[in-house]
Amino acid sequence: MTMHIQQNNAVYNVKHLNIPAQAGVEFYQHPQSQFLYIKSGVLAVITRSGRYFIPACHGIMIPANIRHELLAKTDVALTAVYITDDIFETTIDQPFVAHASTFFKALMNELLTLPSSNKQTLIHHRLIAVFQDYLPQLTKRDMFLPYPQDERLLAIIEKLQKYPSMKSDLLSWGKFVQTSARTLTRNFKKETGLTYSQWRQRLNIQIAIKHLAQKDEIASIAALLGYQSSSSFIYMFRQQIGISPKQFLKTLI
């Protein structure tokens, strides 16, 4: 389903998409800004600089001309809004993830019911104006996992993404990639802005979000990520996200 909407100088196209798990769209870019609202499931948006995870009832704003890839981590239903002109007062040059309020969820559903442009009335234009005004006010969520460029670091994070419970420290990884732990420590911070420990926690959060969305037990998620107890995992999750895993689950409804 696609809707074409005109509001002042900006043109909006609204689409509803269903993407099965592990399917997606390879790297591409578009001349419009794009807002993707996830109605159900978990979507990964991958750019050259890293990966964003967007669970249900969250959305991601992607500026125009940003090359990105879409990958459904579970079955995903989403609404995509393409905007020809920048709707923000300040320039947005990087994607951001935001949590949708109850009102905004209803607003996204209403956008899909809009008639074709030649049948729209003033009330429809006002609905678009509300979307335009409300979008910058959404609560931002840090769901970004930065990627390094160094080939040695890329080899390490590839292993960690496959085997997140691995306990290896940078001294052990140094032997794996044949370089010193000091060099890895310095390069990790320089290229990602995070320490190795902080990066691993970000990775764990993304993996946890996928499994929480699938209604997996907290104990099994903790074990998958290498935590010896559920309480240790819950503490890490709360430190990173600001709420417990159970509280986070409520934001996906």
44 against 117, higher pLDDT: 44
Pick the closest to residue 51 from 195, 188, 206, 160 (CA basis).
206
| Per-residue pLDDT, 87 | 58
- 118 pLDDT band, cuts 50/70/90, is low
- 88 pLDDT band, cuts 50/70/90, is low
pLDDT tens-digit readout, 214-244: 999 999 999 999 999 999 999 999 999 989 9
Lowest mean pLDDT among 67-76, 128-137, 175-184, 189-198: 128-137
CA distance 246 to 253: 12
Q: In the predicted model, what is the mean pLDDT of residues 110-126?
A: 74
| Per-residue pLDDT, 117 | 62
CA distance 101 to 58: 9
With a cut of 50, say whether residue 247 has pLDDT above it: yes
| Per-residue pLDDT, 6 | 46
pLDDT tens-digit readout, 3-27: 444 444 445 678 889 999 999 999 9
pLDDT mean across residues, the chain: 88
CA distance 122 to 8: 12
**Amino acid (1-letter code) at residue 169:** D
89 against 41, higher pLDDT: 41
Q: Phi first, then psi: give them for residue 25, nearest 5 degrees.
A: -130, 125
With a cut of 80, say whether residue 121 has pLDDT above it: no
DSSP one-letter code for 83: E
- 130 pLDDT band, cuts 50/70/90, is confident
| Per-residue pLDDT, 78 | 94
| Per-residue pLDDT, 2 | 47
| Per-residue pLDDT, 153 | 96
| Per-residue pLDDT, 111 | 82
CA distance 111 to 9: 18
pLDDT tens-digit readout, 150-204: 999 999 999 999 999 998 999 999 999 999 999 999 999 999 999 999 999 999 9
| Per-residue pLDDT, 84 | 67
Strand locations in the chain, DSSP E?
2-7, 10-19, 24-28, 33-40, 42-47, 50-55, 58-62, 68-72, 76-83, 96-99, 139-141, 144-146
Instruction: Provide, rounded to the nearest whole percent, the portion of the chain with pLDDT above 70.
Output: 90
CA distance 118 to 6: 10
| Per-residue pLDDT, 25 | 92
135 against 212, higher pLDDT: 212
